[in-house]
Amino acid sequence: MKKTQFFGIWIYALLCLVLVLIYRFYTGMFEAKIMEYNLSLWYALAINLVLLVTSVISLKSSKLPAILGIIFSPLSTYLFFKSWTEMNYQYLAGFMVIPVILLLTTMVKRTSITSTQPIEKEKEITLK
């Protein structure tokens, strides 16, 4: 797995968190306000463009997280847009689950790569 994909997904997750904080700032804690629809769409598109570019760049090195990133990018944009325009926290929860899934797939992929390396080195030493 490339470091580009690993750090790209981490940056995407942090940007999603910032986007949720902006969402909470605009909506207030308990009062509903009418949102600007175009602004929410541009926020979501800008954040998900990071995910899409990172996924396309790292498609050759690690297939599963890259394919999931390509699939989840438009879905994430839709969920955040619906959350912002309808003031529905179920959509926002769906929006926040996507970076968690991507982080878990990269962590599983990353640990499986690093955990097999010492075993292969031990086999080489015993064969010599």
**Who contacts 111 (Cβ-Cβ below 8 Å, separation ≥6)?**
none
36-64: pLDDT as tens digits = 555 667 777 888 888 888 888 887 877 88
63-68 contacts at long range (C-beta below 8 A, 24 or more positions apart): 64/105, 64/109, 65/1, 65/5, 65/9, 65/102, 65/105, 65/106, 65/109, 66/5, 68/101, 68/102, 68/105
Q: Taking the complete model, does pTM exceed 0.75, yes or no?
A: no
73-90: pLDDT as tens digits = 888 888 888 887 777 778
Instruction: Return d(Cα 122, Cα 111) in angstroms, integer.
Output: 18
